[in-house]
Structure 1
Amino acid sequence: MLPAGVSAEDLLWPPEGDDPLRYSPTWESDEEYISDFTYSDICLNAFHYSGKFVCIMCSTEMRNAIADYKSSLRIRPEIIDENSESTLENIGAVAEIERDSEDEDAENGALNAGFIGGQAYSVPEYNELLVNLMNSIFADILTDNNQRILYYKLPDIKEYTAYIEHARNLCNAKLTEASPDERLALFLNVYNMMWIHVTHIHGPPRSIWERRKLMNCSYYQIQYHKYAPHSILDGILRSNRKGLGTLWKPFGKMDGRLPLILPTCERLVHFALNTGTRSTPPIGTYNCKTVREELRENARETLESNNMLRIDAKNRTVHLGKVFKWYANDFGCTKEEIIEWILWVMENSVSKKRTVLEEFYHNGEFEVEYIPYDWTFNGQMCEKK
């Protein structure tokens, strides 16, 4: 099935002199993109190029490319078919995707697969138990201002074993009955623990492709649906916005997870999530009743440090973390909007940094530069001898 008014000849053999980039689809989500294509007589290889799409492959080539792409990224067919955890924008470069031979257990099913108890949990009930376990685990494995993780300690921590059991009961969490703040707290905690869980099993991602795989392919079963880190961050917490390197929203119009997204994008989550890198903000736990206050306080502490915000008063320059550039649509597309939001987060601060920043904001004469992101792994897998 091709989009209305488009023939196979139009796509594969554009008339001489015609612009090969003239065809620009208008899909709003992965779901709409996938549903427009059936791998029959003709199919499309669509990838992002100069803001538009190029169609270059016949159906056989397309099927082979998709098979290679799935294999190299180890994306499960059921995830692709759900139209939610992955996009195909880079399929034109499939030959360049690096391959590996790691254990594929995580891709064979949910990380929290296993025996599930019969008890149903409200989100506040489930999250309270989760926070108690996380606090005990974090007391043993977090160091360096809660930004570094000692993974090698996990096997000896009884609360981590209890967490693995508790994670299985996410299938019994009544998400549909939860308030936005309750969902916010739960998904923040689940995201951070899922990252620790999958890293403990497979080790840290060693390349951009492994990081992409971790974000899109590792998942928990939560109530009725699968949730990968990407679908939690960009789907739930950012209120169904396009993520980095993706062309469409995570959840399509018919996706069962769409009703669970936050009403608006919560910008503070960017200062709460474990990214597996040295640029990770302090990792904490979040309670259903106080999650907004906890998020704001964590963001304030992060901005008071030099990891996300530095002020060069002499040269009237504000140095911001890369997150402000990567997620500019979340924070505001002008430097004034970003600084205004930072001042709100630091409202109760009496630091010199905030005083200088406020003067910059009211004067209007300042430049913005970005602090290099430190992709170094923020954990330790083995105990040093």
Structure 2
Amino acid sequence: HIQHFASFQPTDFPLLALVSLHSEIASCPVLSIHLLYWPQKYENKTCFVTPKIFIAIFVIPSDLFFAIPSLLRSAIEFGRKLASTFFFHHVLEENLFEDGNHLYRFLDDDPIVSSQCHNIPRGITDVKPKPILDIASRLRFLFYGILEAYTSEDGKHVDYRSIHGSEEFARYLRIVQELQRVEVQDMPREEKLAFFINLYNMMAIHAILVLGHPAGPLERRKLLGDFKYVVSGSTFSLSAIQNGILRGNQRPPFNLMKPFGAKDKRSKVALPYPEPLIHFALVCGTRSGPALRCYSPGNIDKELMDAARNFLRNGGIIVDMNAKVASASKILKWFNVDFGKNEVEVLKHASNYLEPADSEALLDLLANSQLKVIYQQYDWSLNC
């Protein structure tokens, strides 16, 4: 039984909750479901204001609360089940779902989801999500095909124009819609590393196809920070994946804040510590970036070491023994805290992936404090 209201307050009802009007409602134990359109401004600690909050309410007549208390418990349990599968959430992420004067919002109606997320062309899916490892496997298989067909053999050049109109990319767009309500928190480290590296790299291609190649710093910030996917009921930008998940929630370069705050549920997805070698695997479409390749959970550590060797041995670090100068990629400067406490430690870390002769020369210069380090100009032009 569905009705529409325009002027009720949440305190008029004994139980307030958002629900999804999908097939799962059929098993709802409450007596009736009402939709309430409540025009009210609601402001949280970050000054986010939403002028319209869509609320759905379970209504159980108060005289039945005491006669049949199990109805209330069943209603709350059902609401928590829907919330735990990412159909809705508390507007301030303060609880999963509780009885009382609380505000909840459908994921579809979240303003960030509706305006910035690009894997929800038809809204939030109500299909029961497949296991994340199954989706990750299908994405890897598809990514291998895209790399084989539309990138150069060395992974340094990408045919964006052909990808855009390809059947493989159309299939990719369909698969990433399945990420909206999957559970990723408990993925093993190796699975999580491979999945989010591959997702970042394909998502970057998607962002470039939608927004175009960024012409300057402001456009780059938009591409890295404003182009998002819904994954596991939360929104993730390229920056959030790199700095929040793969770097263990570290501050991005030139930023004062960590990606995930203390109460941000996305922090539960983050790896426990930074993975420095991911910087030789993440590709945001620039010529000075690493080669594009697909990563597998079974060999992720070996593949990341191979990526580091490939990047650093092919111009990432150039050692001139005569001039006693090391020319290094700015990636090692921007993310230096992931490699060591100071410049010497960073270069010692990087030396592990150089050719033996270059590694020995670099370590000798570092030991004698004779090395001058300069950082290469970063080429932001498109890797096409």
TM-score calculated relative to the size of structure 2: 0.68
Is 2:122 the counterpart of 1:110? no
**1:135 lines up with 2:140 in the alignment:** no
Following superposition, the deviation at residue 128 of structure 1 comes to: 1.4
| Aligned equivalent of 2:379 | 374
User: For 1:129 and 1:292, how far apart are their aligned partners in 2?
Assistant: 21
Which deviates more from structure 2 when the two are superposed, residues 247-256 or residues 335-344?
A: 335-344
Q: Identify the residue that residue 269 of structure 1 maps to in structure 2.
A: 278
Q: Does 1:335 align with 2:340?
A: no
- Correspondent of 1:255 among 264, 278, 287: 264
Tell me: higher relative CO, structure 1 or 2? Use CA pairs within 8 A at least 6 residues apart.
1
CA distance in 1, matches of 2:207, 2:334: 25
Alpha carbons of structure 1 residues 252 and 299: separation in structure 2 relative to 1, 3 Å: same
Q: Equivalent pairs: percent with the same residue? A: 27
Q: Secondary structure at the match of 2:118?
A: coil
1:194 aligned residue:
203
1:38 deviation in Å? Answer: 9.0
Residue pair 1:318, 1:367 contacting (<8 A) in 2 also:
yes
What residue in structure 1 maps to residue 79 of structure 2?
A: none
**Residue 359 of structure 1 is aligned with which of 353, 361, 364?**
364
Q: Residues 199, 106 of structure 1: CA spacing in aligned structure 2 closer, same or farther, 3 A cutoff?
A: farther
Cα drift, residue 177 of structure 1 = 2.4
Cα offset, 1:125, TM superposition: 2.1
Paired residue for 1:182? 191
| 1:106–1:249 CA distance, 2 compared to 1 (3 A) | closer
Structure 2 residue aligned with 1:35, among 31, 45, 59? 45
**Using a 3 Å threshold, how does the CA distance of structure 1 residues 259 and 138 change in structure 2: closer, same or farther?**
same
Which residue of structure 1 lines up, in the alignment, with residue 298 of structure 2? 289
1:278 corresponds to 2:271: no
Alpha-carbon offset, residue 106 of structure 1: 9.8
Give per-residue Cα distances to partners, 1:295-351, cap 9 Å, x unaligned.
111011111111x111111011111111111122222242320122112334xx44x
2:323 to 308, 315, 320: 315
How many residue pairs get aligned? The number is 280
Instruction: State whether residues 205 and 284 of structure 2, in contact with CA within 8 Å, keep that contact through their aligned partners in structure 1.
Output: no
How far 1:141 moved relative to its partner?
1.7
Letter in 1 for 2:372: E
Report deviation, 1:156.
Answer: 4.0
Letter in 1 for 2:45: S
Q: Do the aligned partners of residues 223 and 311 (structure 1) sit closer, same or farther apart at CA in structure 2, a change above 3 Å counting?
A: same
Write the distance in 2 (CA, Å) between the matches of 1:38 and 1:114. 24
Matching residue of 2:22:
none
**Superposed displacement of residue 119, structure 1:** 4.9
1:170 to 163, 175, 179: 179
Cα shift at 1:82: 7.8
2:62 corresponding residue in structure 1: none
Q: Distance in 2 between matches of 1:263 and 1:302?
A: 25
Q: In structure 1, how many angstroms separate the alpha carbons of the residues matched to 2:360 and 2:192?
A: 35
- Given that 1:107 and 1:217 are in contact with CA atoms closer than 8 Å, whether structure 2 keeps it comes out as no
- Could you tell me which residue of structure 2 aligns to residue 203 of structure 1? 212
Question: How far 1:356 sits from its partner (Å)?
Answer: 1.9
Q: Secondary structure at the match of 1:149?
A: coil
Alignment partner of 1:338: what SS? helix
Other-structure match for 1:66:
none
Structure 1: gaps (5+ residues): 1-33, 40-80, 84-104, 380-385
Are 2:313 and 2:353, in contact at CA under 8 Å, matched by a contact in 1? Answer: no
How many Å separate the matches in 1 of 2:140 and 2:114? 27
**1:151-178 Cα distance to aligned partner (Å, 9 max, x none):** 1101442221111111111124320221
Q: Secondary structure at the match of 1:305?
A: helix
**In 1, Cα distance between the equivalents of 2:272 and 2:177?**
27
- Name the Cα RMSD after superposition: 2.5
In structure 2, the CA distance between the partners of 1:191 and 1:341, relative to structure 1 (3 Å rule), is same
Task: Report the TM-score when normalising by structure 1.
Answer: 0.67
* 1:215 CA drift (Å): 1.1
Q: How far, CA to CA, are the matches of 1:257 and 1:231 in structure 2?
A: 9
Contact between 2:285 and 2:383, CA under 8 Å: does it hold in 1?
yes
Larger Rg: 2
Structure 1 runs (4+) deviating above 6 angstroms are 36-39
